[in-house]
A and B are shown apart, each in its own frame.
Chain A
Amino acid sequence: MNLIETSNLTAFYGDFQALFGVDLVLQAGETIAVIGANGAGKSTLMRSIAGVLSNKPDAILHRGEPIGALAAPDVMARGIALVPEGRKLFPSLTVEENLLVGRHGRKVEGNWSLETIFGLFPVLKERRNQPSTALSGGQQQMVAIGRALMSNPEVLLCDELSLGLAPVVIKDIYAAFPRIRETGAAIVIVEQDIAQALKVADRVYCMMEGRVTLEGRPAELDRADIHAAYFGAETHELA
């Protein structure tokens, strides 16, 4: 049985339609990447799965059960955690409090606790009592990932982890992913950085203008096909 499955998923912001019948499958323990340019609908897809945007119940299935109409706290309680685009840390909470609040709605014992998160990102332990706003962008991203892991999710949705970060910082953050994968969590990574996405993913979905335009395993995908699916162009080599 698929862990997460979307079928003919649509999403609207008022009258504006952002997703047009997206079909996506995530298996247990798998890492998939969703790539696409700005405005392709990647973040809308994540927000829909996480329950921020409501949908038809059976547009999203979790272990075969309809969750499309569930609110975000109910989706989170089922073990689906989102690292939102732009980190969205709570400015009035310290680093440690930001991590602790991540398990508010799902207190499940598992691989992740305050201590193991500090083991994954040691710099956070040193700064645990500081306001989250005092951290650098990369450290804030670590807090956002740690906060999502605190609920010991079986699905980790990561929205634009590399946004606004220096390449060396992005490398540090992605270095943590093998350890997250070892815990058995399935991961969905939304990225604009194609090379990074292809490096960590078992399968890749490419989106353009609210539709999935390409799907496959990184080794099987041709660079020209990805380029066409990403930009809508038929020619040109991928830079």
Chain B
Amino acid sequence: MNWLDSILQGILLGGLYALFAAGLSLVFGIMRLVNLAHGDLIVFAAFLILMLVSTLGLNPFVAALIAGPLMFAVGYLLQYHLLNRTLGKDILPPLLVTFGLSIVIQNGLLEAFTADSQRIPAGALEQASISLGGINAGVMPLLTFASAILVIVGLNQMIYKTALGRAFRATSDDVVTAGLMGIRPNQIFAIATGLAMVIVTIAALYLGTRANFDPTAGPARLIYAFEAVIIGGLGSLWGTLAGGIILGVAQTVGAAINPEWQILSGHIAFLLVLLFRPRGLFPRAVD
């Protein structure tokens, strides 16, 4: 039963990693942009929610509803005015600029909030759990996983069933021809990053209510997000969820064997996938 428990906790943890990764996967899928500041933006959003909770006394879920549109605006403006200028045939400029952005965000948060660890208070939900056939599962991890599924279903519906989604895919295929259809790639990229920041806000809500975070916590979140995206296959959202689950299960099973092996076993699972399936488990058919 102990193993089943570890696997269940790992699957639920995978939901959090999938949330970390979904925005990264969306942005990469549409504009081939690797955002090295993604983890720091998650932490930034967590501080934003914390600020709304502590200054206005809001419930964290209500605070996230307010933070979501604000983060959309941050993402839109960031992409439109900064990151779009770095896109082109050379992959180095976006890497350098987002790396710099990561440092700016970390130091800005240090100035504003100090290096102390923080946590978003979620009240009774923090400890609440339900029994699933003899295994106890926390309500927050269950909510996290359900949110990850909802985010991925929602993104897939948007990408494959709406005019905006068609524009996303067309722009991803061929920027010049998309322009001939009246699609404005700079605007499409900005909307995509805005949406990624809304997902980042959801990830930040669960990161902040489940664990402590501090201004330098972003890069580790980025690594988990990268690993989930690469395990799942670049550009595939369901693959990203699968990648998150594989990473989460590897970590919890590793921790069940020896608590010191938690992080290591996640990285080993990632390396094994890279070794045997370098394009990930569910790569996009068209790249």
Contact = CB atoms under 8 A, between A and B. Distances in A.
A87 B183 CA distance: 17
B169 A73 contact: no
A76 B182 contact: yes
Report whether over half of chain B's contact residues are helix, strand or loop; otherwise say mixed: helix
Interface stretch (B58-66, B149-157, B173-181, B226-234): B173-181
A92 B176 CA distance: 15
Interface string A73-104: 10011000110100010111100010011111
Contacts of A100: 163, 166
A90 B173 contact: yes
A147 interface: yes
Contacts of A91: 173, 286
B184 interface: yes
B287 to A, nearest CB: 10
B172 interface: yes
Given A100-B166, A101-B166, A104-B167, A90 B174 contact: yes
Interface residues of B, number: 18
A51 B169 CA distance: 22
Q: Give the size category of A's interface with B.
A: 20 to 34
B170 A101 contact: yes
Contacts of A90: 169-170, 173-174, 177-178
Contact of A84 (B169, B172, B180): B180
A92 B181 contact: no
A178 B170 CA distance: 30
A50 B180 contact: yes
Contact of A104 (B163, B174, B176, B286): B163
Task: Give the residue among B173, B174, B178, B180 with the most A Cβ atoms within 10 A.
Answer: B180
Interface of A: 50-52, 71-73, 76-77, 81-82, 84, 88, 90-93, 97, 100-106, 147, 151
